[in-house]
Amino acid sequence: MSENPLNIVLADDDDDDRMLFSEAIDEIAIQTNLKLFNHGQELMDYLNTAGSNLPNLIFLDLNMPIKNGLQCLKEIRSNTALKDLCVAIYSTSSSEVDIEETFLNGANIYVNKPNNYSKLREAVEKVLQLNWQYHTSNLNKDTFLFRI
């Protein structure tokens, strides 16, 4: 059985968060290729490079220098080549304003960064197991905010 690996990207300016996310991905029984970016501009440069392997899912931190997650989300949704990519906001913020703003700007799911490693691994695994076609066609505020 040779399933194609999921192409996952994470844009997050925090070194520790990138490392823990990478370790969690390695422990999950889902084949993935993970690319890590230090900030939103790096991510957007990659996504806008001709011939780059577009991800199946983008995990996007909101609070990053140079280009933040909301700016990336708006840019992705306004680009015809990128607008259908699945975007998971991955943030420590639980602000209703952030949640509402990312929902209205087209994010597919909002994941609060868990505060311990086992919850992080569980959250990442559950998000990767979502049936995205079903999830995005039934998107509403109840399915948008992901809680562990």
Domain segments of the chain: what residues? 6-146
Q: Which fold has domain 6-146?
A: Rossmann fold (3.40.50)
pLDDT tens-digit profile of 121-148? 999 998 888 765 554 555 555 556 565 5
Taking the CB of residue 69, how many other CB atoms lie within 10 A of it?
A: 28
Mean pLDDT to the nearest integer, 57-72: 95
Q: Which residues of 109-135 are buried (b: 16+ CB within 10 A; e: fewer)?
A: bbbbbbeeeeebbebbeebbebebeee
Mean pLDDT score across all residues of the chain: 87
pTM: 0.89
